[in-house]
Amino acid sequence: MTTLAPAEATTVARPQRELTYAEAIREALRQEMRRDPRVFLIGEDIGVYGGAFGVTGDLVHEFGKDRVRDTPIAEEVIAGLAVGAAITGMRPVAEIQFSDFVTLATEQIVNQAAKMRFMFGGKIAVPMVVRLPGGSGTGAAAQHSQSLEAWFAHIPGLKVVLPATPSDAKGLLVAAIRDPNPVMVFEHKLLYRTRGVVPEELYTEDLKAIVRRTGRDLTLVAYSVMVIRALEAAEQLAAEGIDVEVVDVRCLRPLDEATIVGSARRTGRVLVVHEAVRSGGFGGEIVARIVESEAFDFLDAPVRRLAGRETPIPYNRTLERSAVPQVEDIVAAARALVRE
């Protein structure tokens, strides 16, 4: 973490402050908008309504409708506006109400934002952020519950980050806003109400993986909500005498291969976990990076993947839960891998 503003000098130890994931995002937006007048927000219902998930909250009352802009239901227009504003010197943060709807905006993001800096020889920067509430678990059914991060990680010119904690939600978003490239920030909807310690000062997080828990028997590689489930699974496995290391990938592009490979080399066993379906999921890329690296000679078992089922997300809550990995699934898969 890089601190951007010094904390107040004090001789009294203050209790650590906790925020929800949603509050941390809103604080990042508020602090960056106060610091940089080029930063503005665009999206559906982000103004007076405060956002579909309440993330933007009361920002419109502080910054006004020019900097917190409600838009029509037109995702391609939102993305196109962001691209145009970014290349003319602004720092737009666009919210796509559900990440699924970004399918309507892919032309502007994939064919324009991702390629302009390259095609113009570096003379144009495209400093835009696209916020994408995604994932299952809210009963929103097949068209509102997908995990599409691998689509965008496939595109050179885009950066793709997936914060798992409130602290990262703030620090990674600030880093994304300040980046001269387009950044896709996927926010899992189940994380919005989770709580954690978040520094009050303005700071950035590096777009690199981090070891959330050290261990010697097995590495769990995860991102987004699966980090939380992996950590819970690791605690359950510890009671069985299985010592698990948990790596939070945090950023898919650029991918911090060194941290992942280093962990694989230390433990000799790796389970990659994500919510997206297995076919074409980003877990396959992580597995490939590991087996193509020097860690391969240190593996004691094949690298395994645990991913979502090959089905659209069901509306029924029981079926929805069974469609993506849960804590008990991670425990079972990790236990089996250690015994190979």
Kindly list the catalytic residues: 75, 144
Q: Which amino acid is at 20?
A: T
CA dihedral 165, 195, 243, 252 (to 10 degrees): -10
CB 294 within 8 A of CB 261: yes
Q: Which residues contact 63 (CB under 8 A, 6 or more apart)?
A: 33, 40
CB 198 within 8 A of CB 24: yes
Q: Which amino acid is at 112?
A: Q
CB 195 within 8 A of CB 295: no
**Structure token digits, residue 220:** 């769990």
Task: Write the burial class of residue 8 (CB in 10 Å: 0-12 exposed, 13-18 middle, 19+ buried).
Answer: exposed
Question: How would DSSP label each residue in 239-279?
Answer: TTT--EEEEE--EEETT-HHHHHHHHHHHS-EEEEEEEEST
Which residues is 87 bridged to in the sheet?
none
39-43 sheet: strands from edge to edge: 68-70, 39-43, 91-95, 129-134, 183-188, 159-161, 251-253
| Torsions phi, psi for 24 (to 5 deg) | -65, -40
